[in-house]
Amino acid sequence: MRFTFLGIVLMAGQALAAAAGGPLELKGKLDAVTVYRGQALVTRVVDVPPPAGLREIIVTDLPSWVVPGSLYAESANGVEVRSVLYRERAVPQDVREEVRKLDAQIRDIQDKMLASQRNRQVLTDHRAYLAKMEQFTAGTATAEMTKGVLNADTITKITAFLLEQHRTLAAEDLKLTREDRDLREQLALVQRQREELAGGSARTVREAVLFVNLAAAGGKVRVRCLVDQAGWEPSYNMRADARRTSIAVEYNASVQQMSGEDWTDVNITLSTASPTLLAKAPVLTPLAVSLTSGQVKQEAFTSLGATYSEARRNWKTQRQIEEQVRLRAATRPAFQAGQFAANANPDITFDQQNPDNDENLNRLANELQVVELISKDTKAKDDDTARVGEGISVDYELPSRLSLPSRSDRQLVQIALLPMKATFYKIGIPVLTNYVYDEAAITNDGKLVLLAGPVMSYISGQFVGRSQIPTVAVGESFTVGFGIDSSLRVNRELLEKTEAVQGGNRVLNFTYRLSLENFGTMPAAVRLLDRLPTAKEQEIKVTLAPGAPELSKDPAYQPKDRKKGILRWDVEVPAQAIGPKAFTLDYQFKAEYDKQMSILGMPMPAKR
């Protein structure tokens, strides 16, 4: 019989633990949780009592969505951790008390349903007996009538008895039918409650087996592990005062907590980092090339695309998949790592025995570099320039300890309340909509980065609508919508279009009218927006005609939007400007281009 060194150490540890009184089973207390975007790192503190010496400690009741490969332990004080193992044990009942109570209710309801079915069978048998009795009575009465000895009183009593029995059976059948319906409804409700609470069966105990060296006075050990089915997303409530001079920004976190374990009275940190236990960078292998005679098509060397631009886009997508496979594999056993890779992309092979395999990353990079060597089209720029917030990593430590039970619905916790100054204005864009909207320009003058997320807007305590904000750095400005102003309407009309040919050019002249109606009793300042067509490399010359109303002088508008053909006028609409009294703004522009050419609409740019 052969023994490995690890096996000898484990057997020795077990023997010493047995000598000290056998393994000690402890649950520990959940102390802190760091919630990432798709996982959470939970920390439990385990108090290890004396006596001193080598001990085997079993930390039981780990959450059902624990990531086994992420489990580790560290000494807090007075405990030296020698080894940490993860194991699972099947048990006859669910590991959580609240789920066990629901299971008991389900069994009780099922027992009642079974009893109801048995009673219904008794009714069926009773009906069959009455039917036979009726047949017997009818046959006997016929025979007696034939012989002339029919006893009418007896027949009357039997008939009354049978009718009474039928009434009793009908009432009992109705009672059992209602009872069965009520029990089915109760069973469905309790089963839904169990599903919401547990998300399925959890009749498996998950444990951390620690082999420790304990000091005489006892000590503490911290056990940490990642759990799935947990994450958070930012959300905001923007509350403006009645005078619309300031805004209170409620920065909230919408937390998903379905880890299978209640987080009770713990320190919670919200993080945008990506948890991984992979410490080693991928290994870069040499790129080998050779020469061949004649022209070689690019497709023969790459599976990523027929052109350099297409290959680069596909390469970046494939690389992101491979990177995620590599990072996630570090926290899972080999068979699970292989399974994850298969789920991520069926075309990707993955070495199950080597979860930090770098072969695929090098293969993808090799293909792209070969394309770069042989392709004539290598001037393509990346089409996904970095945006604010990409790759940003921030942590928000909540100021007080909280409790978050394991539930299927999302739970809202407040990160911070941030008072901010705001500039309110109204905006009308008649080329897009006839409505006029209230908006506010806000500067993030706090100390927290605001991550991209949904916004619920309120004015003087009343809900006015929903919107979104991008990631906002400290000191950066952003815009928040506050709904439609129902007292204003805006319209856009083409008044005149003329066409002429001058030399080799075609000249088009357009006259537009923008009109604003104000149904309110107070004047309204509105930012009125329209746009001019733009073209690449001066293919079309577009000029705003002289005499047009003066454009906005806002320094935030001129250097950015004006160059993109966006027109903005800051106007004031009088009160009760309705119908023929509506505020109007006319402007003209001219477009010139080669008369041999025709105008063609360009596809919209990709949304960033």
pLDDT of residue 6: 41
What total of structural domains would you count in the chain?
Answer: 3
Q: Which residues are CB-neighbours of 145 under 8 A, at least 6 positions away?
A: none
Token pair belonging to 369 = 């570099």
In a domain? residue 488:
yes
| 492 contacts 392 by C-beta, under 8 angstroms | no
**Residues, the chain:** 608
Long-range own/partner contacts, residues 460-466 (CB < 8 A, 24 or more apart): 460/240, 460/241, 460/242, 461/239, 464/438
The CA dihedral of 173, 175, 180, 181, to the nearest 10 degrees, is: 110
**Which residue bears the tokens 């009780």?**
108
Q: Which residues are CB-neighbours of 550 under 8 A, at least 6 positions away?
A: 569
Q: Which residues are CB-neighbours of 5 under 8 A, at least 6 positions away?
A: none
The domain boundary residue, chosen from 212, 228, 244: 228
pLDDT of residue 312: 73
pLDDT of residue 150: 62
In a domain? residue 145:
yes
Q: Which residues are CB-neighbours of 297 under 8 A, at least 6 positions away?
A: none
Q: Rounded to 5 degrees, what angle do the CA atoms 406, 411, 413 make?
A: 120
First to last CA, the chain: 65
DSSP string, 554-584: -TTTTTTTGGGTEEEEEEEEPTTB-GGGSEE
CA-wise closest residue to 497 among 486, 508, 482: 508
In a domain? residue 450:
yes
Strand partners, 421: 246
Residue 101 shares a structural domain with residue 14: no
| 221 contacts 79 by C-beta, under 8 angstroms | yes
Sign of CA dihedral 205, 208, 211, 216: negative
Residue 450 shares a structural domain with residue 475: yes
DSSP string, 60-123: ----TTB-GGG-EEEEEESEEEEEEEEEEEE-SS-SSHHHHHHHHHHHHHHHHHHHHHHHHHHH
Distances (CA, A) of 110 to 182, 190, 239, 541: 12, 11, 51, 80
In a domain? residue 321:
no
Task: Summarize pLDDT for 196-228 with one digit per residue, the tens.
Answer: 665 545 567 889 999 999 877 778 899 999 999
Residue 220 shares a structural domain with residue 237: no
Looking from the CA of 114 toward its CB, the CA atoms found within 13 Å total 6
Residue 412 shares a structural domain with residue 542: yes
pLDDT of residue 295: 58
Distances (CA, A) of 129 to 62, 133, 136, 165: 59, 6, 11, 11
In a domain? residue 272:
no
In a domain? residue 304:
no
Residue 159 shares a structural domain with residue 55: no
pTM of the predicted structure, to 2 decimals: 0.66
| 470 contacts 388 by C-beta, under 8 angstroms | yes
Residue 477 shares a structural domain with residue 607: yes
Between CA 505 and CA 276 the distance in angstroms is 62
Between CA 434 and CA 516 the distance in angstroms is 9
DSSP state of 537: G
Residue 455 shares a structural domain with residue 547: yes
Give the structural domain span for 103.
97-198
Residue 124 shares a structural domain with residue 79: no
CA-wise closest residue to 448 among 486, 421, 475: 475
Q: If 0-12 CB within 10 Å is exposed, 13-18 middle and 19+ buried, where does residue 290 land?
A: exposed
Between CA 306 and CA 310 the distance in angstroms is 7
Between CA 171 and CA 200 the distance in angstroms is 40
**Positions in the chain whose pLDDT score sits under 70:** 1-21, 91-96, 144-145, 147-151, 196-203, 276-280, 292-309, 324, 326-357, 375-392, 537, 601-608
H or E, element range at 230? strand 230-240
- Residue 351: CB atoms within 10 Å: 16
In a domain? residue 523:
yes
pLDDT of residue 451: 92
Between CA 30 and CA 407 the distance in angstroms is 17
**Which residue bears the tokens 């004006």?**
562
Residue 74 shares a structural domain with residue 113: no
The domain boundary residue, chosen from 198, 218, 251: 198
Residue 88 shares a structural domain with residue 148: no
Between CA 536 and CA 524 the distance in angstroms is 38
DSSP string, 45-64: EEEEPSPPEEEEEEE----T
In a domain? residue 556:
yes
Strand partners, 427: 437, 527
Between CA 301 and CA 458 the distance in angstroms is 58
Residue 468 shares a structural domain with residue 494: yes
Token pair belonging to 425 = 């204005």
Q: If 0-12 CB within 10 Å is exposed, 13-18 middle and 19+ buried, where does residue 337 land?
A: buried
CA-wise closest residue to 105 among 201, 199, 191, 181: 191
Residue 530 shares a structural domain with residue 565: yes
pLDDT of residue 602: 58
